[in-house]
Amino acid sequence: MRSLLLLLALLIALPAHAEGFLTRLLNKPVPGGVAVVDLGSAPKAPRALYQGKPVLVVREDGQRWIAIVGVPLGTATGLQQLEVDGTQVAFTVGGRSYREQHITLKNQRQVNPNPEDLKRIERELAEQNAAYRIFRPEQPSNLLFDKPVDGPLSSPFGLRRFFNGEERNPHSGLDFAVPTGTPVKSPAAGVITLVGDYFFNGKTVFIDHGQGLVSMFCHLSAIDVKVGDRVVRGQPVGKVGSTGRSTGPHLHWNVSLNDVRVDPAIFIGAYRE
């Protein structure tokens, strides 16, 4: 009888369903992080929108649908709303603080561009924003990403950055300290949607992994793919360099979800509070 009572108590204490692998890996619901939202076990995938933009939806452990939502860096703590098949589903965003980074650049134009530079920057920004907003229905091949290079992490995501003492946009990606010429490998299968040589980013490659999940690599010394190419997990797409606004060789890697830049460390199991 006592054993039966203990068993009943344990069953009552258990959640209605255990967290799956993807939830444990990805659910970091903070500004600049990822919120995993349970959407239930409907026969077909629900359609989810966050701030008017479509959201990645996958089935976890072959059972329940989950939305994997990119949370913008400027999001306030508290409740946020996801629209799921016309109804509102709430999730909670917690807090996270980010450190400062002070960088000295010799090229003053990379801190305060001239009018011609600004025209170029505006044109290039529009190209890149369009690539981030693509939403292909194809599901990503994997959500536990491979690291694109083997090397130590240097500048983390979200740093408040000051160039020559002037504050600019926060660090939107994750940097790896690796030498020029190091091959950069795709962390998951995808389609090349944009390549270019940009004022700030230098030589750049965009990989669309599906459903609004996008990798961007920049400051490359060489690009080994072209727009429209399909790449497999682990395939080289370019080589590390120091092009654009850069103080030395390194790889800068952005990850974007529903057109929101989020911490890439989440996808390689390297996230730290």
Would you say residue 5 has pLDDT above 50?
no
**DSSP symbol at 34:** E
**What is the layout of strands, in order, in the sheet containing 53-54?**
53-54, 48-50, 78-84, 87-93
CA distance 54 to 107: 39
CA distance 273 to 271: 7
Average pLDDT over residues 259-272: 95
Q: Which residue has the higher pLDDT, 272 or 194?
A: 194
Q: What angle do CA 167, 169, 172 make, to 5 degrees?
A: 140
> Using CB atoms within 10 A of its CB, is residue 38 exposed (0-12), middle (13-18) or buried (19+)?
middle
Q: What angle do CA 61, 267, 97 make, to 5 degrees?
A: 120
* Maximum distance among all Cα pairs of the chain, rounded to whole angstroms: 82
CATH number of 100-268: 2.70.70.10
Question: What is residue 134's three-state secondary structure?
Answer: coil
Which tens digit of pLDDT belongs to each residue from 49-105? 999 999 999 999 888 999 999 999 989 999 999 999 999 999 999 988 776 665 665
Contact 64, 57 (CB under 8 A): no
Question: What is residue 209's three-state secondary structure?
Answer: strand
Bridge partners, residue 206, by sequence: 194, 216
CATH 2.70.70.10 location in the chain = 100-268
Which tens digit of pLDDT belongs to each residue from 11-54? 333 344 567 999 999 999 999 999 999 999 999 999 999 999 99
H/E run at residue 145: none
CATH number of 2-93: 2.60.40.1590
Contact 156, 171 (CB under 8 A): yes
Find tokens 């255990």 and name the residue. 18
Q: What is the pTM of this model?
A: 0.87
Find tokens 């290039």 and name the residue. 124
